[in-house]
Each structure stands twice: as structure tokens, then as C-alpha cells.
Amino acid sequence: MKPIFFEPGTTLGLVFPASPIPRPKLKKGLDILESFGFNFFRSDVSLKESGYLAGSDEERLNDLLAAFGEPRVKAVLAGRGGYGSLRILSKIDWTKMPNNKPLMGYSDITALHLSRLAQTGQGGWHSPVVSSYTYFETKHREEMVKVLMGQGPQIWTFGKKEVLKEGQVRGPLIGGNLTMIDSLLATDFLPSFKGAVMMIEDIDEQNYRLDRQLTVLWLSGRLKDIGGLVFGEFVNCGLKDNIKKLLQSFASDCLPNVPVVKGAPFGHGKFNGPWWYGEEVELVAEAGGAELRFLDR
């Protein structure tokens, strides 16, 4: 499934399906994106706050529907993750949304991406939300926007220390935030993972919680048919050496027959390389290093 790229002047629909964002941070994020030539369609929900939610469930749902229904909007961008997308999943009929309008976001927005993929097979951009652009360095902002404009790298490379399991596979990208994936396991909002290259990241989870979430995912049986696994960043999840041992153990014990690498440049860190749900890739992991080749760019 080929990604949908954008040109300067594209109008993005700004939505808040989860948590709110302080006005100064919202303004800064929008100013940054406008400097790259993007325009915005936005509703009053962008300035609302109901505790940890950006407005009521009905308001956030209508905000999403309005953005997808606006003719000027070419893609729908989440202002922030946080929490809240799960609360409106059952009320969204993705089959009535225009397929040529991708959703953009990550973290809590993982729930929306996976739900849409399950219902329609339509992909979208696992990419920064508006709030995250405020803390990226200028060069990193430029690199990420280039990907969205079709000028990004064709290959991600990994050193030999990042290879947890050797192998080679070709398949579509899927995954996102581990906490959100686990939250959807007992629902009908997860698509099939068969043959896919799983992309997984998370933030603010202690080692034992990260261990538990990976174990629950494995026990669910959802990983038995995956083609490969790519770990992104695990920010504030404990000591790096402990995370490495945990991921290595998981790869060896639970995924003996698929290639696994870690250290991919996406997640909640200072760089969040965009990738497209359903994008065809080839993962080649060898003792001396690995490559993730994007075949649809």
C-alpha cells in the first residue's frame, strides 16, 4: 500500500481525539508546521479541555468527523496523543470516511490507525502530532516533513548490536504504541498481523510493565504469524541495558523464527521517523547489521 504524500500548501484538518494541549504549545506547533507551507482547518475543540480529555466524547468525535468531511482537508493531523481515542472507537464508521484522506499521529492515535486498518484496510501516517514538533530540533523537523512530502530515506540501517534475531522478510508495516496495541487485544478493532512487520515503541513504562505488555501480546497469539519485528524507542522505560536484555530475551524466547531488530528511529524521543501503515517493506537482518527497506516510497 503506497503512502499518500503531500505538497506545500496542503490543508490539514487539526483534530483532538484524545488529550488537550496548552494554547502556547499549540500555537508554537502550528507556527512550525505553517513554516513548512501547511495550512490548517480547525474547530473549537482544539481549545477545549475536560480534565485529561480535549472535550467530551461527542465533541471529540464530531471534531474528527468534521475534519474528514471538510473538502479542503487533504489529511487529518492529531494535535496530541495522551489518552481518549479508545473512548470513541465504537462510534466511528471508517467505511464512511474518504479513503484518500490519511490520518496522521502516533501514541494514543495508534488506536485510530489500527481500527481504521481493521475496518477498511486503509493506511495512514505513524508520525508526529502537533505538540511533538515543539521539542524537535530544526534539522529533525525538516527530515520528518521531507518524509511526508515523499523525499525521505528509502532505507533505515541498523548496527550489528541492534540485531536481535537474524532473518529476512517482506511484508506490510503495522503496529505502533505497545500500550495501545495491548489495550485493543480483547476488541474487534485490531487488524490481522499475519505476515506483517511489526513496529513497536512505548514511553514511561517500567521494565516489569514493559515485560508484562510484551508477554501479554505474545500470549494473545497475535504474534504467531508475523513476518518480523522492529523495536523503536522506549523512552523513560528504565536503564537501556535492562531494556536491551528484555528485548533480546523476548526475541529469543517468543519469536524464534522471525527477524528482530531494535533501535529504529521512531517513537517518543527526539526524532520520530514517519512510516505508513500497510507500507510494503523488506527487513534484512544479518550478524553484521540490518536494513529496513521501504519499497513503496
Q: 201 an active-site residue?
A: yes
Task: Give CA separation, 119 vs 153, 188, 270, in Å.
Answer: 30, 9, 32
Give counts: helices (H), strands (E), the chain.
Answer: 7, 14
| Whether 49 is catalytic | no
* 7 catalytically annotated: no
122: how many CB neighbours lie within 10 A of its CB?
21
Residue among 59, 201, 205, 279 flagged as catalytic: 201
Cβ contacts of residue 2 below 8 Å, gap of 6+? 276, 279, 296
- From the list 46, 132, 268, 279, the catalytic residue is 268
75-78 and 155-159 as β-strands: parallel, antiparallel, unpaired?
unpaired
Tell me 154's DSSP state.
S
Identify which of 56, 12, 58 has the alpha carbon closest to the alpha carbon of residue 38: 12
User: Which residue among the candidates 19, 85, 107, 132 is catalytic per the annotation?
Assistant: 107
Instruction: Write out the catalytic residue numbers.
Output: 107, 201, 268
